[in-house]
Structure 1
């Protein structure tokens, strides 16, 4: 369920399967993952939300003035017209065949379940390929989605309800039709028995009503922001009501779950691999949203107990695609023979999305972390400049914002537009939100232990009532200031070790604890930690997922991604402003205000970012000439048999 590899850790979060992490978009990347999705894991057939364009005509007007359309966009018009043949960036003539293979990831470096919809178990990677959703997006747009199972959707201008009309040809892999009853069953059971994040995500949905065999209506609660809700309820994987009639939805299982998607599980060997085979009878193979996709006969995820073994296997040709997360390995170990012979390509793909919210997250449910001065002081012990120079080969920049590398990043003093949102919330906000520029971590001298910065941090601890006694920081009751950073892998020790050393110099009883992956996952779900590392991949159009990340309702709900336990009414109010924004401009303003507040609350120690994917692959693939800007892109590649035969003739171990 979670992936936190090396230098670029990402925390994949439980979310409505099929919906791209935090975007309002639809994706077939690991179903059951990512409210803030969104993720470094290998992506099967990525379907990310997109920006509004100007290519499509105005939608039709239905009965009572309702809009009838083939898609919907958060803001503005759809890029693609109702009769579009395929997305612009795909190769519509891409050949079918071959195998894409990569490394399987997860909290346990294995899997024990094929049910990605519940909290229990560790689901296999790539399960999204088994399912279809009502709507799907395109990674050349920011916030638009188009019909997949749904041939059309109907909604009023205020978006207070939406009707989906299903395609009559839509079928599950056993040949049974996909009906409105299946859609309603899925929605109801996800809310009742699914991962806790579903209940938060869908709290603004009043009801789901079957109108006809292939028509279903969702009504939204009165008074809520409805901007994203039609796309959101179009984003879950639709399951078969009949198939689940004799099965326990709440149980993890190794039986493949019936879906209507383009792939089926061929082999599932926990601890070793999972193989997905393309279905020759897939009902939607020729739909415009699918043209140029689903090109590989098989997707294979190979699982390894440790990263070194996986990398060695990739170099030996055991699998063909690898995303690198270790800066040291990227900088020093990509001179192996297959690279030198041109058999393996080393590449960097720009990531057009916000660069991610990565850091060490304080659990403010713990009493020692409730004072923001303490959290700020502890964060100052992390010397990014030294880490980047010494450990990362200068490959990274410091993360300062929760919406890093995007127009939603707060800068300088608050603007008048931001102040209009912040002033009514002043009583619940730190004074520095109004009196100081948006917080950025201090820049050190790169020595690893900048005395100037540490002195400032120790002064903050003094002001917060944590004074030094016998070399240790204690409060008025004589209790020591303790901080344990929990992890499930020693790979971060080289980074965390100097951080802890600086904390100890400040008198903090700091330590790092490594536990087995299963225990780590359980403790994280139960919020049983002081500090944990993690990365959330933020959306270009943030919305409902912010409630799970930073909202009060999620703070006390086990299994949600509110790692810090943040429960602040001002933050809740700003989240609703982001969700309710009626234009890109107003969304950016509300997000900047939220970013400014989150940074002033010091809920984390911000880490680092790099706005690119570091990838390597055996040169057996074809790919579109112009890759989509909001995706890693390999979901639109294809197998090139001529390249494969060339490598084989040269002795490549494939």
Structure 2
């Protein structure tokens, strides 16, 4: 491997560099000769079975298509990516399938050199043609999830000058594109010879640490550790993927999951329901199963979870109606009575992060917003960024509801006989769509509050497959969603807020955001030269979107609530940015 650390602050260098690791806007934390990540036990023993609960079900083993409910393990366990991201840095990558990487001096291409030891589960070596085939299929096949095409949209073409070299040519300079390409999942070119549509239920031929063993469709899937895994001694894999067998058991109702834990079916559970955390795990039950409750601190960007509104159709095409919905949600009461005070209010699309906008825009952020021209709402420039309203415990939700009704009357609705109606006499109604009863008590309370001001909210609980189809087709008024963000926001923002994504079925632009000032801001994610500029761009985007009131902010916690067996080994040092389930699966071991 190359012994050179590359600090990518700009594209102005006179030469092209190659490196064992890259950091976006900062030096990689780990040196060229590092043995393993600090948040793993490099000497962890191998062996045993690790069982996890997974919500929902699955009807396909193809992780790349838009259609179908995906099985949990195929992509995460059987397919390697070009590089591996560390979990204790905002955005750094180290060698996996690619042993080194380079960025051209003009910033218009990236080159990846493949590790000659890399091989697929069928015994074939991982070659440049496989990387190229993977990229082309994910970005050009009509059946592929549109995220891939949007995420790597600045790639003009991919070239394979020799068996171990892949070159991606860019349409324009993009500050993070070379890093984003490192996240390309690579599978054999033999995987889908007739395309994804005809291989809709076909598993890719991967090179990852596990091999598929068996499954009961929609109920269970099982994987076995590849004891000859080609990368098991690489620094990015040392001390990881220690269980001989990983088993996923699927459930459609949270009560079924809890009963499964009581019956000893699971080894690890991430509990995201506050009521169950407070009351569902008795000391007696935990002692009987040899398990314990733990709270892990997490410093990750919490993104934004909330009730997103579809701007493509009435009534949420009117910003005053959307603002009224935000005013009407009684978080404080719900948090106290239903969540046992366990949550904090989400207030930004980069909640719990330095990327979140605060107060009025100043300095570089203000200059950036002013440069966008007259498409920017004056309120964005002159007023503090919107914060979720609070409920006064003395007066309750009533003052907030009065504000909400005033906004709706300003939008043209009139209150008569207990209902708000528009100028044609049509009542103000909308449907909340969900695939889970988890939010039943929350939405029922909100439903009652809205009825007090003449708004009818219906609640539709549907099966996961139909729910996903309706989301893919943008066939909903309101639903619950999460805008997940990392410590280095980038090209994925196009999928959340870009005009193109607003028109592509299956994209993550559920709200249908399409605004000229947002399009201009999104381009800045490809042109920053240091982390301060990335912060400025992220805050400006956050501020602009929050002023559009596309979502009723929900909640988050800075703790992961987990339950696991007492003999499960967990590294002493937790990373900064991680998913608790995948962290336990990929770094845990049996004592």
- Which position in structure 1 is the counterpart of 2:165? 215
Conserved 8 A contact 2:114-2:127 = yes
Conserved 8 A contact 1:624-1:636 = no
Among 284, 288, 308, the alignment partner of 1:361 is 308
> Under a length normalisation based on structure 2, what TM-score does the superposition of the two structures give?
0.94
Conserved 8 A contact 1:180-1:216 = yes
Answering whether residue 35 of structure 2 is matched by residue 88 of structure 1, we say no
Q: Secondary structure at the match of 2:374?
A: helix
Among 159, 163, 170, the alignment partner of 2:118 is 170
For residues 526 and 566 of structure 2, the distance between their equivalents in structure 1, rounded to whole angstroms, comes to 43
- For residues 106-140 of structure 1, the C-alpha deviation after alignment (integer angstroms, 9 at most, x for no partner) is xxx11111100011211101222101111111111
- Which position in structure 2 is the counterpart of 1:634? 584
- Which position in structure 2 is the counterpart of 1:185? 133
- Which position in structure 2 is the counterpart of 1:30? none
Q: In structure 2, do the counterparts of structure 1 residues 335 and 447 end up closer, same or farther at CA, with 3 Å as the change threshold?
A: farther
- Which position in structure 1 is the counterpart of 2:504? 557
Answering whether residue 441 of structure 2 is matched by residue 503 of structure 1, we say no
- Which position in structure 2 is the counterpart of 1:288? 235
- Could you tell me how far 1:210 is from its partner in structure 2? 0.8
Conserved 8 A contact 1:101-1:302 = yes
Among 305, 310, 328, the alignment partner of 1:381 is 328
Answering whether residue 104 of structure 2 is matched by residue 156 of structure 1, we say yes
For residues 530 and 420 of structure 2, the distance between their equivalents in structure 1, rounded to whole angstroms, comes to 49
Answering whether residue 249 of structure 2 is matched by residue 299 of structure 1, we say no
- For residues 607-647 of structure 1, the C-alpha deviation after alignment (integer angstroms, 9 at most, x for no partner) is 11101211000112112221212123314433334xxxxxx
Among 31, 42, 60, the alignment partner of 1:113 is 60
For residues 448 and 217 of structure 1, the distance between their equivalents in structure 2, rounded to whole angstroms, comes to 63
Answering whether residue 566 of structure 2 is matched by residue 619 of structure 1, we say yes
Q: Secondary structure at the match of 1:241?
A: coil
- For residues 206-235 of structure 1, the C-alpha deviation after alignment (integer angstroms, 9 at most, x for no partner) is 11011101111001003x4x2111111121
Conserved 8 A contact 1:59-1:67 = no
- Could you tell me how far 1:509 is from its partner in structure 2? 2.3
- Could you tell me how far 1:168 is from its partner in structure 2? 1.2
Conserved 8 A contact 1:59-1:69 = no
For residues 363 and 392 of structure 1, the distance between their equivalents in structure 2, rounded to whole angstroms, comes to 27
- Could you tell me how far 1:199 is from its partner in structure 2? 1.5
For residues 200 and 547 of structure 2, the distance between their equivalents in structure 1, rounded to whole angstroms, comes to 44
Answering whether residue 49 of structure 2 is matched by residue 99 of structure 1, we say yes
For residues 15 and 527 of structure 2, the distance between their equivalents in structure 1, rounded to whole angstroms, comes to 23
- Which position in structure 2 is the counterpart of 1:586? 533
Q: Which moved more, 1:290-299 or 1:255-264?
A: 255-264
- Which position in structure 2 is the counterpart of 1:443? 390
Mapping 1:464-475, distance limit 5 Å: 464-475=411-422
- For residues 452-497 of structure 1, the C-alpha deviation after alignment (integer angstroms, 9 at most, x for no partner) is 1111111111111112233322222322222111112222110001
Superposition CA RMSD, Å: 2.0
Q: In structure 2, do the counterparts of structure 1 residues 271 and 414 end up closer, same or farther at CA, with 3 Å as the change threshold?
A: same
For residues 429 and 135 of structure 1, the distance between their equivalents in structure 2, rounded to whole angstroms, comes to 39
- Could you tell me how far 1:295 is from its partner in structure 2? 0.8
Conserved 8 A contact 2:7-2:27 = no
For residues 602 and 64 of structure 1, the distance between their equivalents in structure 2, rounded to whole angstroms, comes to 45
- Which position in structure 2 is the counterpart of 1:232? 180
- Could you tell me how far 1:88 is from its partner in structure 2? 2.3
For residues 353 and 612 of structure 1, the distance between their equivalents in structure 2, rounded to whole angstroms, comes to 10
Q: Which moved more, 1:259-268 or 1:442-451?
A: 442-451
For residues 322 and 131 of structure 1, the distance between their equivalents in structure 2, rounded to whole angstroms, comes to 24
In the alignment, structure 1 segments of 5+ residues that lack a partner are: 1-54, 642-654
- Which position in structure 1 is the counterpart of 2:79? 131
Q: Secondary structure at the match of 2:547?
A: helix
Conserved 8 A contact 1:113-1:124 = yes
- Could you tell me how far 1:358 is from its partner in structure 2? 0.4
Conserved 8 A contact 1:386-1:447 = no
For residues 182 and 521 of structure 2, the distance between their equivalents in structure 1, rounded to whole angstroms, comes to 25
Q: In structure 2, do the counterparts of structure 1 residues 320 and 216 end up closer, same or farther at CA, with 3 Å as the change threshold?
A: same
- Could you tell me how far 1:156 is from its partner in structure 2? 2.2
For residues 370 and 256 of structure 1, the distance between their equivalents in structure 2, rounded to whole angstroms, comes to 41
Answering whether residue 152 of structure 2 is matched by residue 202 of structure 1, we say yes
Conserved 8 A contact 1:380-1:453 = yes
- For residues 360-412 of structure 1, the C-alpha deviation after alignment (integer angstroms, 9 at most, x for no partner) is 00000013212211100122111001001110000011111111111111111
- For residues 566-616 of structure 1, the C-alpha deviation after alignment (integer angstroms, 9 at most, x for no partner) is 101111212222342221111112111111111111001001110121100
> Under a length normalisation based on structure 1, what TM-score does the superposition of the two structures give?
0.85
Q: Number of aligned pairs?
A: 579
Q: Which moved more, 1:612-621 or 1:570-579?
A: 570-579
Mapping 1:393-542, distance limit 5 Å: 393-446=340-393, 450-542=397-489
- Could you tell me how far 1:341 is from its partner in structure 2? 5.4
Among 221, 236, 251, the alignment partner of 1:274 is 221
